[in-house]
Copies of this chain bind each other. A is one copy, B any other.
Amino acid sequence: MNTVSWIANRWFAISDGGSNLYREPNSYTPTSMTLPNSESARTALPERTYERLRNLIVRGRIPSGARVIEAEVALRFGVSRTPVREALSRLIHERYLVPVTSGKRTELAVAPFTAEDVRELWEIIGSLEGYAASMTAILPENRRLKVADELRRINLELRAAAAEHPRNADKLSELQTRFHLGFVLETAGPHMRSIYGALRPQVQRYEWIYGTHAEADYARSIAEHMTIIAAIREGNAERAQNAVITHWHKAISRTSDVIRPAPFASPRGKPRAKSVKRKM
């Protein structure tokens, strides 16, 4: 009765970018969206595993609702379950993965897309970016102008990418992310980087899905970006903050409109791996 109905099937044969086995025709090399993390993360493997998995999720390679199994990831990535476990734990806390079982053992699946998530995430990121934009707008003029120029460049790239046929969802969502990183990182301290770095890819995940819809509109978003750039250029903190918050508010409906209510469940019962063997 309380069954989670959106659990999808397995995600096999997925190109990763991490282990460059295969690169899709329409692929776009990600600029390692992980923020320049001053002090290096704890270790290599858990961090790397986290990034690879998150990239797969954000860029739709592991679809919403798919089960994610520790041993399977470990096998595919060629590491033991321990670092995978650490990565999964982090992905749970950042809400890329959600538990799908009731009992003690927690089985995991990629979080579904929901309209409530859009509203909440967009509001939160609006607040944070609004503050960041206002801080950026009061930087010394030379830095402001440099940021504005960079943002303008990215925005033009975005316009070009939106005009392509077919569109490249990887590239589009990546450029949108880079635009916002462009002014947020300018003034962010370590806490902001940490929070924003965990949150922004959540948004990017929705942007990616948005980009796969043929009728997706980018013109309005690009125009709103220009307002933000102008405010930063002229050094008007309040206007910059308002422009950012307005941008995100307007984006809520644009995005919600193309979110499918819920992906379908698997054909019969919950799929279980046929056999996840040891390293072989």
Q: Which residues of A contact B (CB under 8 A)?
A: 39-44, 46, 82, 85-86, 89-90, 92-95, 98-99, 104, 106, 116-117, 119-121, 123-124, 127-128, 130-131, 189-192, 194-195, 198-199, 202
Write 20 A-B pairs (CB below 8 A) sorted by A numbering.
A39-B99, A41-B92, A42-B89, A42-B92, A42-B106, A43-B104, A44-B104, A86-B89, A90-B93, A94-B194, A95-B191, A95-B194, A117-B191, A119-B189, A120-B191, A123-B131, A124-B128, A124-B195, A191-B199, A195-B199
List B contacts of A104 (CB < 8 A). 43-44
List B contacts of A202 (CB < 8 A). 191
List B contacts of A120 (CB < 8 A). 189-192
Report the separation of the CA atoms of residues A42 and B88 in the bound assembly, to the nearest whole angstrom: 10
Report the separation of the CA atoms of residues A192 and B119 in the bound assembly, to the nearest whole angstrom: 11
Across the interface, name the chain B residue whose C-beta is closest to A105: B43
List B contacts of A130 (CB < 8 A). 127
Across the interface, name the chain B residue whose C-beta is closest to A188: B120
Q: A189 and B42: CB pair below 8 A?
A: no
Assembly stoichiometry (copies): 2
4 nearest CB pairs, A to B: A120-B189, A127-B131, A127-B127, A42-B106
Q: B99 and A189: CB pair below 8 A?
A: no
List B contacts of A127 (CB < 8 A). 127-128, 130-131
Report the separation of the CA atoms of residues A249 and B41 in the bound assembly, to the nearest whole angstrom: 31
Given contacts A86-B85, A90-B90, contact A99 B42 (CB under 8 A): yes
Q: B192 and A124: CB pair below 8 A?
A: yes
List B contacts of A189 (CB < 8 A). 116-117, 119-120
Report the separation of the CA atoms of residues A43 and B92 in the bound assembly, to the nearest whole angstrom: 12
List B contacts of A106 (CB < 8 A). 42-43
Q: B121 and A191: CB pair below 8 A?
A: yes
Q: A124 and B131: CB pair below 8 A?
A: yes
Report the separation of the CA atoms of residues A199 and B192 in the bound assembly, to the nearest whole angstrom: 11
Report the separation of the CA atoms of residues A189 and B120 in the bound assembly, to the nearest whole angstrom: 7
* Chain B nearest Cβ from A258, distance in angstroms: 20
List B contacts of A198 (CB < 8 A). 93
Contacts A94-B194, A191-B199 aside, 8 further interface pairs with beta carbons under 8 A come to: A42-B99, A90-B90, A95-B191, A116-B189, A120-B192, A123-B131, A191-B202, A195-B199
Report the separation of the CA atoms of residues A141 and B194 in the bound assembly, to the nearest whole angstrom: 37
Given contacts A86-B89, A189-B120, A191-B121, contact A98 B128 (CB under 8 A): no
Report the separation of the CA atoms of residues A76 and B130 in the bound assembly, to the nearest whole angstrom: 44
List B contacts of A191 (CB < 8 A). 95, 117, 120-121, 124, 199, 202
* Chain B nearest Cβ from A106, distance in angstroms: 5
